[in-house]
Structure 1
Amino acid sequence: MPFDRIHECGCGVGRIGPGPIGMFVERWLARLPLPFGDADRDAGYWWRPPYAWIRRNDTKPDHASGAPPTPRPGQVNQGDRIVEPHRRAHRSVLLLDAEEGRNAPAESVHNFLTRDGTPPAQLRKLGREELAAYPAVRIRPSTCVAAYVLDDGGFRLDLSDGGTAEARRLLLATGLADELPGPRGIEALWGRSAFHCPYCHGYECTGKPVAVIGAEPARVRLALQLSRFAADVVLCTDGEPLDPASRLKLESNGVAVRCEAIARLEATGDQLEQIVFESGPPLARDAVFVVNVPRQRSDLAARLGCASFADGSVEVNEFGRTSVPGVYAAGDMARRATVPMPLAAVITAAASGTVAGAVIDQDLLYVDFDLPNPFAQAKG
């Protein structure tokens, strides 16, 4: 069966993940009544990290010849389709989930009302349990390895398990992955005692000795921000120079400065013990805030031709539309032009997916009933 949408996703330390975005939107979409008509009675959805929504319809013969439809130029054969029950009453959803959440290393998720402190794996489990109440939802472990735009404006996906799917709309939530440029030993601590976001992990550092690594203005600002939480804060420039004005501001607000190059981080398990410098005494710390380099977890948006910003974020408008007709994006992989950086939090990811899911459903409604679409002219 062709699909109405595909949804692809990913996530951040203590933040976004395929689970929260995708499951939240999948559950919402599964509650939607179907529009009337053959195409919509057979609607269905898929998702995986990177989340993709796909809508399905049974392959129908050519009305003139009775023969199966033939591939158009640039199109491949449709391949196998998965039959979904309950297609008359709700939008069917197939969840394609490779379980590669960005926040998997984190001990817990924060800033999500009623779920603060929940481990990421537990949040995923709770989402799966909620989805089980919706018979239109199916879950399948797979990934998208190729995507094609079809002549009719729909999409064709090739999946890693050898299957294929077609969709009228795609919702990407493939998320970001974090590259950690250093210092040595950071990987084992990531999400446990090495962090990058004060809103996700600052509160848990209350009363503890904390270090911030870096000399850029943003690192100075973070060190000052963390001084509200931590017992003491030290800015470690890792051998980089720090301008006198910044040093004065830090020290006058109780933030010490260490300018030696860092040799390594020493820890017991995933708990930081101390920062070892190339020269000078080591610095005992319970937590360290480092610079991470986020990158797109999937290149699907780029292969589809979606416009992006210099930081790699996929450009969307306020309704999650990308520059490619029929393709939407949600979560920390995307942002609007008016937002200076992607908002990497589970609850904002869920919210952006909810908005995009509603707009996609309305978009299909307007197409199927030939109605004017008030969302069509929205700008980012």
Structure 2
Amino acid sequence: MYDVVIVGAGAAGLSAALVLGRQKRSVLIVDGGRPRNAPAAEMHMYLGRDGGAPAHLLADGRAEIEAYPTVERISGQVSGVAGADGAFEVTIDDGRPVQVRKLFFAVGVTDVPWEIPGLAERWGSGVFHCPFCHGFETDGLTLAVLANGPDAALGAYVADRYSDDVVVCTNGPSTIPDPLRAMLDKTGARVVETPVEHIEGEPGSLRVFFADGSVLERQALYHRAPTTPNTALTRALGCEHFDDGCVRVDEFGKTTVPGVSAGGDAAHLAAVPEPVTLVAPAAADGVRAAVWLEQDLFAETFAD
């Protein structure tokens, strides 16, 4: 019987394991091995590691938790969860069942870029999703933004902050709301409604090919791809989820199911519209949730 099983071994999951390991809790981390930011060469806004490689942070985190003998990390996927607070059963993809008292889900989200040839292949390398993460590095460059509807606000943002040469490519007829269109006009961003056929080039020299035969040369491209939260397991347990697919948590990182906590990109408070999908908040989520999981485990020891 483990004290806590942590599903997901990114910044949130490893941070939770570090806290619990230091409290001598028996912890199993199930590491799916597919971090969302794996394509990115750098991460930012993580104090002390700004500009460092995401892979280095995870490697250092894994090495740090190895110092705690009660923490075990395995590679694999969780294929099923069942049970209730104090007596959960987790099934690993190799078929073995694991008994555990508490659960922490740090499962993240999956990006789903538009189906334009060449777009997904350049994800994180020349094609960026977040101006907080990459805006400073694209300052002064010629930019394209693949977006339509309300998401075209990203075009107004980068045009206001980082470039005086921004083209918003809607990949077809525009559904940009009039107030947002006025914002784009004010910033000088141009809107192109011609469908995009494919994207070629290398970072710093990209070419967007349109259906009418025209070509747009850009130094970088932004695309806030739709995301799919990886929340099948929390749904199976009956946790409440928002319309965006993320699991609902409270200020302690707890879901609506006793004994189940969550953090990172696939979880947020009811008071905020969406998670802040940055590495530092994910790590903070893991620390916060682990502290309160420890408090619950401690209290239950004496309640028994």
Same fold (TM over 0.5): yes
Q: Which stretches in structure 1 are left out of the alignment for 5+ residues?
A: 10-17, 33-89, 372-380
Which residue in 2 is equivalent to 1:352? 285
Name whichever of 296-305 and 134-143 sits farther off.
Answer: 134-143
Say if 1:331 and 1:243 are closer, same or farther in 2 by CA, change over 3 A.
Answer: closer
CA distance in 2, matches of 1:298, 1:272: 37
Equivalent of residue 223 in structure 1, options 142, 152, 155:
155
Compute the displacement of 1:317 (Å). 0.9
2:67 counterpart (133, 145, 169): 133
**Percent identical across equivalent pairs?**
36
**In the alignment, which of 36, 52, 64 is matched to residue 102 of structure 1?**
36
Q: Distance in 2 between matches of 1:196 and 1:178?
A: 10
1:142 and 2:73 correspond: no
- 1-structure distance, mates of 2:227, 2:213: 32
RMSD, aligned α-carbons: 2.0
| Aligned partner letter, 1:225 | Y
Alpha-carbon distance in structure 1 between the residues aligned to 2:70 and 2:86: 25
Change (3 A) 1:246 1:314: closer
Question: 1:335, CA displacement in angstroms?
Answer: 0.9
Match of 2:54 among 116, 120, 123: 120
Contact 2:6–2:17, Cα closer than 8 Å, also in 1: no
Correspondence for 1:59: none
| Partner in structure 1 of residue 302 of structure 2 | 369
Give the drift of 1:296: 2.2
TM-score, normalising length: structure 2:
0.92
Provide the C-alpha distance between the structure 1 equivalents of 2:217 and 2:44, rounded to a whole number of angstroms.
26
Residue identity in the other structure for 2:98: A
1:331-346 equivalences under 5 Å are 331-346=264-279
Single out whichever of 295-304 and 332-341 deviates more from structure 2: 295-304
Map 1:4-15 onto structure 2 (within 5 A).
4-9=3-8
Return the letter of the residue paired with 1:21: A
Give the counterpart letter for 1:143 in structure 2.
Answer: Q
Counterpart mapping for 1:1-380 below 5 A:
2-9=1-8, 18-32=9-23, 90-150=24-84, 153-219=86-152, 221-227=153-159, 228-241=161-174, 242=176, 246-268=180-202, 273-279=206-212, 281-370=214-303
Q: Distance in 2 between matches of 1:311 and 1:249?
A: 26
Q: Deviations over 1:85-130 (max 9, x none)?
A: xxxxx22333321211111111111110111112121111111222
> Residue 262 of structure 1 aligns to which amino acid in structure 2?
V
CA distance in 2, matches of 1:298, 1:208: 37
Gaps of 5+ in 2: none
Residue 365 of structure 1 aligns to a residue in which SS? helix
SS in 1 for 2:124: coil
Q: 1:312 and 1:266, CA in 2 relative to 1: closer, same or farther beyond 3 A? A: same
Q: Decide whether aligned partners of structure 1 residues 135 and 199 sit closer, same or farther in structure 2, where only a CA change above 3 A counts.
A: same
Q: Distance in 1 between matches of 2:93 and 2:255?
A: 25
Q: CA deviation at 1:339?
A: 0.7
Q: What is the CA-CA distance between 1:280 and the residue it aligns to?
A: 5.5
- 1:143-181 Cα distance to aligned partner (Å, 9 max, x none): 21111115x742011111232211111111111111112
| Contact 1:206 1:231 survives alignment (8 Å) | no
- Number of equivalences: 302
Higher helix share: 2
Cα separation, 2, equivalents of 1:99 and 1:20: 12
Secondary structure, counterpart of 1:279 in structure 2: coil
